Amino acid sequence: MLVICLLAAGLMWVDQNYTVFQSLRYVVGYVLYPAQQVALLPSTVAGWMESSTASRQQLMDENVQLRARNLVLEQKAQRLASLETENIELRELLSASEQIDDRVLVTSVTAVDPDPYSKQILINKGGEDGVFLGQPVLDAFGLLGQVVDVLPHSSRVLMIADSNHAIPVQVNRNGVRAIAAGTGALDRIELIYVPNTADIQLGDLLVSSGLGGRYPKGYPVGVVVEVEHQSGEMFARVSAVPSARLDRSRHLLLVFSQGAGQVPSDEIWRYKK
């Protein structure tokens, strides 16, 4: 053992001070490399298995996180689309309110009457906000209806398409007056008692005439889409499409107009077909 130790120490001293064994050691490295790899194989395999297990678990955790994040982003994207639509509607409403000289109050639709024969909605403004019976209600495109019931923090609105509703109108082109009555369908109103000789044409814009003191004058009500003159009859059949988007508008305007004052509940005028 002493001889071996002395021999090893001598070889190390020679290797450190001379380069004579460098080439021999380089060649011996080829011979010892397989044995070295075999000796390192257990630790290499163990490290690979540990790394693979950790990577798999990490990937699974990351996959769960990405799925959750993707679900949140999809929810936000859906909400963003809804907010974008609401933003467009509010901009249209703002544009409409800028064109109105009367004082207005913005309100939102909270419920729709489920009765198929009733075209009424519930809004989130009431008597505490100054809402009164008979108050005109508009959307960004035209007259939508009038308030028929007021509670402290909500009100019920009768839309112009309801079969129990009628409004005095006039043709914007020539001033011909008529009565626009609801048909029970949200996409159609009719002009009643229109003489066959009346100058009403397709595409004519109908606006509120202001007669009766209920609705202010000059607000869009509808556009004429059908004029039928019946032979031998006194009155023509005239139909129009409401200007207001009765089936989709969510944000509305309550109008405080000097031309449409408060009306007692027992004086609310309705047309019964």
- 127: which 2 tokens? 């008597």
- pLDDT at position 269, please? 38
* Per-residue H/E/C for 127-173: HHHCCCCCCEEECCCCEEEEEEEECCCCEEEEECCCCCCEEEEEECC
- pLDDT at position 100, please? 58
Question: Is 4 a member of any domain?
Answer: no
Question: Is 5 a member of any domain?
Answer: no
Last residue of a domain, one of 73, 99, 125: 99
Q: What span, in angstroms and rounded, lies between the C-alpha atoms of 199 and 71?
A: 59
Whether 48 and 150 map to the same domain: the answer is: no
Whether 58 and 109 map to the same domain: the answer is: no
Question: Is 10 a member of any domain?
Answer: no
Question: Is 16 a member of any domain?
Answer: no
Whether 37 and 81 map to the same domain: the answer is: yes
Asked if residues 180 and 191 have their Cβ atoms less than 8 Å apart, the reply is yes
Ranges in the chain, pLDDT < 50: 261, 263-273
What is the tally of structural domains in the chain? Answer: 2
- 163: which 2 tokens? 């079969």
- pLDDT at position 160, please? 95
- pLDDT at position 272, please? 34
- pLDDT at position 104, please? 81
- pLDDT at position 140, please? 84
Whether 88 and 139 map to the same domain: the answer is: no
Asked if residues 226 and 238 have their Cβ atoms less than 8 Å apart, the reply is yes
Whether 80 and 107 map to the same domain: the answer is: no
Q: What span, in angstroms and rounded, lies between the C-alpha atoms of 135 and 8?
A: 110
- pLDDT at position 231, please? 78
- pLDDT at position 180, please? 95
Q: What span, in angstroms and rounded, lies between the C-alpha atoms of 222 and 243?
A: 4
Q: Cα 271 vs. chain centroid, distance in angstroms?
A: 35
Whether 124 and 245 map to the same domain: the answer is: yes
Within a 10 A sphere around the Cβ of 131, how many other Cβ atoms?
Answer: 24
Whether 82 and 144 map to the same domain: the answer is: no
Question: Is 25 a member of any domain?
Answer: no
Within 8 A by CB and 6+ apart from 201, the residues are 173, 224, 227
Q: What span, in angstroms and rounded, lies between the C-alpha atoms of 140 and 91?
A: 9
- pLDDT at position 205, please? 92
Question: Is 124 a member of any domain?
Answer: yes
Last residue of a domain, one of 72, 99, 126: 99
Whether 118 and 244 map to the same domain: the answer is: yes
Stated pTM of the model: 0.62
Question: Helix (H, G, I), strand (E, B), or coil: what is residue 12?
Answer: helix
Question: Is 24 a member of any domain?
Answer: no
Whether 114 and 92 map to the same domain: the answer is: no
Q: What is the CATH number of the domain that holds 119?
A: 2.40.10.340
Within 8 A by CB and 6+ apart from 58, the residues are none
**DSSP string spanning 201-254?**
-TTPEEEE--TTSSSPTT-EEEEEEEEEPPTT-SEEEEEEEESS-TTT--EEEE
- pLDDT at position 270, please? 38
Question: Is 76 a member of any domain?
Answer: yes
Whether 223 and 111 map to the same domain: the answer is: yes
Residue 73 domain boundaries: 31-99
Last residue of a domain, one of 99, 133, 153: 99
